[in-house]
Structure 1
Amino acid sequence: MSYSPKLSSGFTFSKNRSTFISPQSGMCSFCTQDCTGTCEIAQAAVLGAQTVYPTTTGTNQIASEKDYPIDFSHFNINGRVFGALGAKETQEEANIFNVNLERTYGTFNPVKIAMPVILPALIKLNWQDYFAGAAMAGVTCVIGEHGRNNDPNLRVENGKVTDYPLLEKALDCFRKYDRGYGQIVLQSNVDDDLMGVPKIAIEKYGVTAIEIKFGQAAKGTQPVIRVKNIEAALKRQRLGDVVIPDPCDPVVQKAYEDRVCPNFYTYSRLPLWNERSLITHITALRDLGAKNIYFKMAGYDRKDIERVLRIACEAKVDMVTFDGAGGGSGYSPSKMMNEWSLPTVCLEDAVVRICDQLRAEKFCPPAIIMTGGFASEDQVFKGLAYGDGHVLGIGLCRASMAAAMTGKTIGDQIKNKNVPERFKPYGSTIEEIFCDLPDLRALYGTVANEFSTGAIGVFSYLNKIAFGLKHFAALNRKFNLDLLDKTDLIPLTSEARALMANEWFLPIEK
């Protein structure tokens, strides 16, 4: 059998014409010259290098379509019937409403979150409600890299950003609803650093936390984007992007005039940190006023994972988010999203074992977040339990953005007197249909009735995750999430048992 998708994908709206597929290649087993061109090969024959990347970005999200041979579905959740840990053993206190979901992290500046969840980096689609909903739910959220490229009012002088209005708007989305939980973080990649984004973010806009990005499971290398003409290429170059070929080169300009110039591409620089340069960079950020430092790391080679964690320990980084294969939201290569990186549960296994080793060596690992394909409360619980006390929370990115988008769309339909059929039994107004509005009013007062329904959607979705977590924790008679561990999981398959027994990562013979 093959775990990889066929040469058809929601990434590109491509499809195989035949129902008979060659498992190894993903091609139709019977390929004919009469085909009008529906599969990925046909698209590549016309669109070329562009088809390495999804052609359906913009108002959409993208995720892996690969059926990985192991994931959290290979585990069931355990249950217990005696005792109560983390609460008094009385029927009045040992109930789901007394499960403590709050967590605190941070080396120099403690940050409290209302539940063990963060919203990882995004700055696309309905980011306004994504950040607002995070504040309402009391969780940390992250503004994505390259946000400056989305700002039509960005100002750059002498190669440095001097005005970044979009950043202020993103920060305000969270700050407006900040209730003392969570933090809004700015992710910064190499290009952002070179353009002086962290400096202006901290000094001009009051950013208190920076996330340094190594990679994500959807995007192990940085994106390449085709630029239509030399004018656009010159503009991107002025804004700090690498453009290949160089549109300022007279030879390239002459080739463009003669209509023999190859495509222009912008390319985001790869991070090339080492221990010394990274710690120097972190020190500089703290000297500027950053109170918290985060890392974003993907499922790279396990030696790289350990190296990043050791640097995080030495630099006293507050949090590292590990992103496993199966997730994805951004502008990422299609095959990369399917075919690279450790699946999330395997990545978590590696991270947890490295953290065990670091603690044995008397190091203090940072707060660990796992993300990559999580969407429901059972998955979140399993991710926390598998963390064996090392994993502080789970990142819910695509799912939270889906809540932001659908919450807004459904709210607009209700306002326009076009209530979707499935919600008509609940009423005809936003106040009647959005069932968790009373919980928001309890936090903010009746002004919550006027909140954006996209943000209400994020809050409600996360409220559902929290409520479900409480049920699973109480099922295991654990009323504080610090008590969760692998004994709360039941491996269902040989792959799951091998992973838990540290037999999955077999040494490779050379």
Structure 2
Amino acid sequence: MGSLQIPNKSAATGTRTRTGSDVLPQSGMCVVCLDGCPGYCEIGLSSMRGPETIYPIPFGKSTSSGTKDYPVDYSHFNITGTVASHHEKEYEQFTNVNVETRLGRDKGLKLKFPLICTGLGSTQIAKNHFADLGAGSAICGTGIVIGENVVGMDETSTFNSDKKVTECKELERRFKSFKDNQKDGYGFIAIQANPEDWRLGVLEYSMNTLGSDAVELKWGQGAKNIGGEVKIFNLEKAILLKKRGYIVIPDPEDPTIQEAFKSGAVEGFERHTRVKAISEYLPKAIDDFGKQVEHLRNAGAKYVFLKTGAYRPSDLARAIKFCSIFKLDVLTIDGAGGGTGMSPWRMMNEWGVPTVYIAAMTYNYCKRLADRGEYVPDIILAGGLTAEDHIYKSFALAAPFVKAVGMSRSTICATMVGNTNGIAIKEGKIPKPASEHGDTLDKIFYYSSKVKEEFGEVTPGALGMYSYYEKMKMGLKQLMAGSRRFNLNEITRDDIFSLTREAADVSGINYIMDWENETSERILDA
């Protein structure tokens, strides 16, 4: 395995080595570490800024993802094509492929395209762009999940005597961005809860006041186990968050820290949530989980989801089994290698089960339950996915259990680019590559006229998201037609093959040189 992630230097942390590529592979240190170097590398920066060096920069203005090159990833599989099919009619063109999907026990959540923008919480990036992301999801007919800590982070949130939320303007704004643009009942907006949200009554407020279509329990803090997620550059807000029960580092109420903040030595504060654990004693864990689900259903939840991260195999087994016992509608599984960039940089690269591996485990565990006649929830698979072939391969790797795919970071990227070019068009300072296509919104954005006709005026950010999703939609239809699959539920594990024996060993997907040997021999001997 050739790792692209070299320790001690990265664009994500703004660090480099003095000797360039001439470094020790394991440590990432310069071959000659020189007395007198001002500290270009991560070690050097850490000697000045300590824990600030843990996270990607500029924090809150960027999204980051790990660069580790795993032994097996999606590129180690190819999609099959065939000329033989039960679809024999000549008019069956790729444009006739149906890429709609439905989620939930009653299949009542309908999507025009099997994509979910998962878990956009209280980060600055999510706050800045959620109006576009919500509207974009609505006009695309896809799903979007509001992430953790939005209520707790909003200074204007109000609470009753039981410390349960009664109003949150930021949460209201996010729901409105989707609900105001939803058409023909396609798509959904859900909300996720960590221990702090649960404590503040966020799910009940979202269901009963704001009209959340679904609620999602969350296992773990942040997609990468312990995401810092938010930095605070205002002392008063840091103190407020501590009073609301969050963990704030360093302590904003410490007089020494306050002086260090005023002098500039401490530039900001990290806001963390509690790291809650599930009981290792299985009967207790099942009982506790069941009480949470029962509480939500009694509070009015029509659809209940669970989201879990790239934890150890036994945790994945817990998630699938618990969802089976209590018949949750959806389980979202987030593999290592993805993320929206708010977790520690080393954690992004060195922690968790990569997506291909966790997809293989998901298939094995779900099949074990299904073979016994037990209920299996609809699976959403996520983790560093960005393209239409990733969607196809996700469905195939864990067929027939995967019903949709999660893509957050790439969705945010499309929205940010749309916004950036929208501003540039207004200012008349259009950069390449946008300027190569024209100088107006209608010329630069391929779908501008279509969206305007169907949905009215939308922001450039929402238009960017729509354009990106439409590209993937057409690409997925072409890939499916090439395999003679005209509905998503027709995709099977036999519709991809492994390019390496290691990929075959990890996934159970046939290695190309061993694949269809018997079928081919029967044809040759016919």
Q: TM-score, normalised by structure 1?
A: 0.89
* Distance apart, 1:502 and its partner CA: 8.1
CA distance in 1, matches of 2:444, 2:57: 36
Shift in Å, 1:204: 2.3
Change in Cα spacing, 1:34 to 1:141, as seen in structure 2 (3 Å) is: same
Contact 1:99–1:473 under 8 Å retained in 2: yes
* Distance in 1, Cα, partners of 2:214 & 2:76: 36
Deviation larger for 367-376 or 489-498: 489-498
Query: Does structure 1 conserve the Cα–Cα contact (< 8 Å) formed by 2:190 and 2:213?
Result: yes
> Is 1:451 matched up with 2:453?
no
Find the counterpart in structure 1 of residue 90 from structure 2.
Answer: 91
Q: Deviations over 1:339-359 (max 9, x none)?
A: 011110111000111000010
Asked if 1 retains the 8 angstrom alpha-carbon contact of 2:306 and 2:330, the reply is yes
Report deviation, 1:144: 1.2
When residues 486 and 442 of structure 1 are mapped into structure 2, their CA distance, relative to the original with a 3 A threshold, is farther
Rounded to whole Å, the distance in 1 between the matches of 2:85 and 2:114 is 24
Give the 3 Å change call, closer, same or farther, for CA 218–333 of structure 1 in structure 2. Answer: farther
Aligned to 1:191: 196
Compute the displacement of 1:218 (Å). 4.5
Q: Give the Cα–Cα distance (whole angstroms) in 2 for the partners of residues 437 and 299 of structure 1.
A: 38
Which letter does structure 1 place at the counterpart of 2:59?
Answer: T
Give the fraction of aligned pairs with identical amino acids, expressed as a percent.
33
Indicate the residue corresponding to 1:38 in structure 2: 40
Decide whether the 8 Å contact of 1:113 with 1:181 is kept in 2: yes
* Corresponding residue of 1:172: 176
Task: Identify if the C-alpha distance between structure 1 residues 162 and 497 changes in structure 2 by more than 3 Å, giving closer, same or farther.
Answer: same
Residue type of the alignment partner of 2:389: D
Give the secondary-structure state (helix, strand or coil) at the position aligned to 1:355: helix
Q: CA 1:17–1:375 in structure 2 vs 1: closer, same or farther (change >3 Å)? A: same
The answer to whether 1:297 aligns with 2:308 is yes
Residue 477 of structure 1 deviates from its aligned partner by 0.8
Q: What letter corresponds to residue 58 of structure 1 in structure 2? A: G
Structure 2 match to 1:23: 25
Superposed counterparts of 1:84-483, under 5 Å = 84-85=86-87, 89-92=88-91, 94-108=92-106, 110-123=108-121, 124=126, 125-158=128-161, 159-179=163-183, 180-215=185-220, 218-223=223-228, 233-243=238-248, 266-273=271-278, 274-441=285-452, 443-444=454-455, 447=456, 450-483=457-490
Sort the Cα spacing of 1:503 and 1:469 in 2 relative to 1 into closer, same or farther, 3 A. Answer: closer
SS in 1 for 2:308: strand
1:256 to partner: Cα distance: 6.7
Runs of 4+ off more than 4 Å: 224-233, 243-248, 255-259, 262-266
Instruction: Work out the CA distance in 2 between the residues paired with 1:185 and 1:224.
Output: 20
Of the structure 1 ranges 488-497 and 432-441, higher mean CA displacement relative to structure 2 is found in: 432-441
- State how far apart, in whole Å, the 2-side matches of 1:95 and 1:187 are: 39
Query: Which of 473, 487, 491 is equivalent to 1:484?
Result: 491
| Secondary structure of the corresponding residue to residue 137 of structure 2 | helix
Alpha-carbon distance in 2 for matches of 1:223, 1:194: 19
Cα distance change on mapping 1:483 and 1:237 into 2, 3 Å:
same
- Work out the CA distance in 2 between the residues paired with 1:399 and 1:236: 30
Matched, 1:494 2:501: yes
**Root-mean-square deviation over aligned CA pairs:** 2.6
Q: Residue 217 of structure 1: CA displacement?
A: 7.7
1:108 Cα shift?
4.8
Look up the match of 2:523. none
Deviations along 1:284-307, one digit per CA (max 9) or x if unpaired, are: 111111111111111211111011
Shift of 1:68: 1.4
Contact 1:241 1:266 in 2 (8 A): yes
Write the letter of the residue equivalent to 2:180.
K
Matches of 2:212 and 2:363, distance apart in 1 = 31
3-state SS of 1:443 partner: helix
Does the CA-based 8 Å contact 1:138-1:182 persist in structure 2?
yes
Query: Is contact 1:102–1:112 with CA below 8 Å preserved after alignment?
Result: yes
Query: Could you say what secondary structure the match of 1:126 adopts?
Result: helix
Q: TM-score if structure 2 supplies the norm length?
A: 0.87
1:2/1:23 contact within 8 Å kept: no
Following TM superposition, by how much is the alpha carbon of 1:467 offset from its aligned partner in structure 2, in angstroms? 0.4
Letter in 2 for 1:486: R
Q: CA deviation digits over 1:240-265, x for unaligned, max 9?
A: 313478777xxx66x77999xx9986
Alignment CA distance shift 1:218-1:56 (3 Å) = farther
Q: Which has the higher contact order (CA 8 A, sep 6+)?
A: 1
Higher mean alpha-carbon deviation, 188-197 vs 123-132, is at: 123-132
Superposed displacement of residue 382, structure 1: 1.4
**Contact kept? 1:208, 1:289, Cα under 8 Å:** no
Question: Is 219-228 or 319-328 further displaced after alignment?
Answer: 219-228
Tell me the amino acid that sits aligned with residue 100 of structure 2: E
Deviation at 1:49, TM superposition (A): 2.4
SS at match of 1:169: helix
The residue identity in structure 1 corresponding to 2:98 is N
Task: Report the CA distance shift for 1:39/1:163 in structure 2 as closer, same or farther (over 3 A).
Answer: same
Change (3 A) 1:245 1:335: closer
1:72-111 alpha-carbon deviations (Å, 9 max, x no partner)? 00111111112244xxx2112x111110111111125711
Partner of 1:50: helix, strand, or coil? helix
Q: CA deviation at 1:135?
A: 0.8
CA gap 1:488/1:224 in 2 versus in 1, 3 angstroms: closer
> Which runs of 5 or more structure 1 residues have no equivalent in the other structure?
505-510
